[in-house]
């Protein structure tokens, strides 16, 4: 947790997300939805820019207050890429 690359220790970063091609794939008789979309995300951290892209699948549950996310699946196009400051801490 004290490593200089720990996210909680270096708050100087920013992201920008673009979501497109939103399509309702299925609708149940009760109004629940399965929605697919594509995304592109840019991250700026310490003057370095990283790009992530892929697709989302959302299962949306219809409630009296509107839709709620029941499941969100993210499939990254560049999931096999090497990431330089990924830090995992197991407690």
CA distance 34 to 56: 10
Q: Which residue has the tokens 């839709």?
A: 67
Tell me the pLDDT tens digit for each residue of 30-75.
999 999 999 999 988 777 788 889 999 999 999 999 999 999 999 9
Give strand ranges (E) for the chain.
13-27, 33-45, 48-63, 66-76
Distance CA 57, CA 69 (A): 10
> Distance between CA atoms of 28 and 36, rounded to whole angstroms?
15
Q: pLDDT tens digits, residue range 18-29?
A: 999 999 999 999
Q: What is the CATH class of 7-76?
A: alpha beta
Q: Model-level pTM?
A: 0.70
């Amino acid at each position: 947790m004290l490593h200089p690359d720990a996210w909680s220790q270096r708050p100087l970063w920013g992201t920008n997300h673009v979501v497109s091609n939103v399509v309702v794939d299925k609708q149940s008789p009760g109004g629940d939805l399965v929605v697919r979309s594509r995304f592109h995300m840019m991250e700026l951290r310490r003057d370095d820019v990283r790009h992530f892209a892929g697709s989302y699948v959302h299962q949306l549950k219809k409630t009296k207050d509107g839709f709620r996310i029941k499941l969100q699946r993210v499939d990254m196009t560049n999931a096999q890429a090497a990431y330089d400051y990924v830090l995992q801490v197991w407690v």
